[in-house]
Structure 1
């Protein structure tokens, strides 16, 4: 209801987020998250489950649930304090970003930043939606809105990569490159330019099917894990799924007094 919605919001942009009493332990362990990711990379799972098992009392207020459902936005609480949540939804269009979901998420990130609400981002994104309809509709410009919103946001930003984080879509989902404060990955995370099969088909185009299968396996061994990205500093730490809530709570505590200002200017030039 509207009353629930307003309960998550501060009175104005200077008061700080409201704090509500909670009996949900900040370091609650959630073992079921260790088996959330299906064995097959092409199998979907419901990102709502991860969100509800992470926030206080499983209480999540989703905004615009029926519009561009391949991205989830809404409010929850960690240790009684409001956070904004942005998450890819593998159940809808495999969680890809398209024009509508980019605009939906970008506007939400800007809203959170305007009211000093920390942002938690859950990432499982195979890329931007291909096709001429998206190209003619201006996917580059609209995708840039989300990139711009995250880059300019000065609130605490914590990112959890659960599975796929490919190419430009990985970049715009609150990556370290967009001033993400704490970027974590589950052991199942894959941070790469693209999926193994697609990459091999481009790089080793002339090889037989059997040879391509060998190269695909090599690519997966090398890149279908978060450790290459972690070694380059793109990920702060690889964490156990069951400790996700605990790590987010600790991160928000560390970032509570975060002070960051963008360079002074008359105004920015957002990609409209």
Structure 2
């Protein structure tokens, strides 16, 4: 089921009837077990309708929560999404933004200027760049509207229509000649030498099946979809080339959310471990690394999908346990020759 806000009509603003159309569509999708794709391009609430418009937002939010983990929900932001309107996309499974044309924020530049005196542009405040790199709001960023809709379709190809079905398989693709032989030299023996874990992931998965989500937020942890033998899988991997692959607040939150989404929709989980520990420092401790690190631990321990863990190199301290170790429920643990 898809719904789209039309910016040409009343600026795409949400009124009572507008909200009821969305709600009825979402209820139908939940009944028949179909994904929900929302295309957002709205100026916010239709202020002429007063509280009825705000109540409409509440009705939509309620369905977002009721159907979370029941059917996949994807938000495609193709224009402004401001004020309370941002909370519906925020509660969906994936958010796709477009470069320079989509914006998300609670309070706009004018309000910020009036209240705090701070000068900020719409792009710097709520454009795709800050949400893809700093806030972790945007899972994926597309160059334009056509590319954004193509990304939504590609995301759905890795997911079942609902939580009672299995992810849709495709015919397996043979790896290129020599791919297996290349794996042996990709992880350096020197434990202090960085490398790009993407090269390992791409050679293990089916060719051209990798789709990374949150690629620019918390890059010390890679989260991605891919396929093994044609079967969709989710990949979580420490990135040794950024912060040595340490877990920090952003990486813990990023990994936890991704793992829980995989678990909700029956997508098997493949974890590549090369982690020296949690990132030390007062900023991390005072920012709540204990609380956020526990989210990742909880997500892995709670997940009931098949869980395969490959230790590439380092697996040290508490971070070893958190990264889907056998002690918290991994079904199969494998070790690279230089694993320690």
Alignment TM-score, normalising by the size of structure 2:
0.54
- 1:161 paired residue number: 311
Aligned counterpart in structure 1 of residue 255 of structure 2, from 93, 96, 105: 105
Indicate the residue corresponding to 2:297 in structure 1: 147
Please list every run of 5 or more consecutive structure 1 residues that lacks an aligned counterpart in the other structure: 191-272
Matched position secondary structure for 1:148: helix
Deviations 1:98-141 (A, max 9, x none): 00100000000000000011000000001000000001011111
In 1, the alpha carbon distance for the partners of 2:226 and 2:327 equals: 25
* 2:244 aligns with one of 94, 99, 114: 94
8 A Cα contact 2:211 2:224, kept in partner: yes
CA distance in 2, matches of 1:106, 1:117: 14
Secondary structure (helix, strand or coil) at the match of 2:232 reads: strand
Q: CA offset at residue 3 of structure 1?
A: 1.6
Alignment partner of 2:206 out of 56, 60, 66:
56
Corresponding position of 1:84:
234
Unaligned runs of 5+ residues in structure 2 are 1-150
SS for the counterpart of 2:184 is helix
Deviation of 1:60 (Å): 0.3
SS at structure 1 position matched to 2:215: coil
Max Rg structure = 2
Deviation sequence 1:168-206 (CA, Å, 0-9, x none): 00000000011100001111001xxxxxxxxxxxxxxxx
Listed one character per residue, the Cα deviations across residues 34-89 of structure 1 (whole Å, up to 9, x for unaligned) are 11122421110100001100111142000010000000001000111100000000
Pair 1:21 & 2:190 matched: no
Report what 1:30 is aligned to.
Answer: 180
The correspondence for 1:126, drawn from 259, 270, 276, is 276
Please say if residues 189 and 338 of structure 2, whose CA atoms lie closer than 8 Å, have aligned partners that are also in contact: no
Quick one: distance in 1 between partners of 2:252 and 2:265? Answer: 20
Q: Shift in Å at residue 151 of structure 1?
A: 0.4
The match for 2:5 is none
Distance in 2, matches of 1:22 and 1:119, equals 18
Compute the RMSD of aligned alpha carbons: 1.7
Higher RCO (C-alpha under 8 Å, 6+ residues apart): 1
Tell me by how many angstroms 1:160 deviates. 0.1
Question: How many residues are paired up?
Answer: 190
Give the TM-score normalised by structure 1: 0.67
> Out of 270, 273, 287, which is 1:137 matched to?
287
Aligned to 2:215, which of 65, 80, 91? Answer: 65
- Contact residue 179 and residue 203 of structure 2 kept, 8 A: no
| Cα separation, 2, equivalents of 1:58 and 1:44 | 24
For 1:196-235, what aligned pairs fall within 5 Å after superposition?
Answer: none
Shift, 1:22, TM fit: 2.3
CA distance in 1, matches of 2:164, 2:197: 32
Paired residue secondary structure (2:207) = helix
> Partner of 1:42: helix, strand, or coil?
coil
- d(CA) in 1 for partners of 2:280 and 2:207? 38
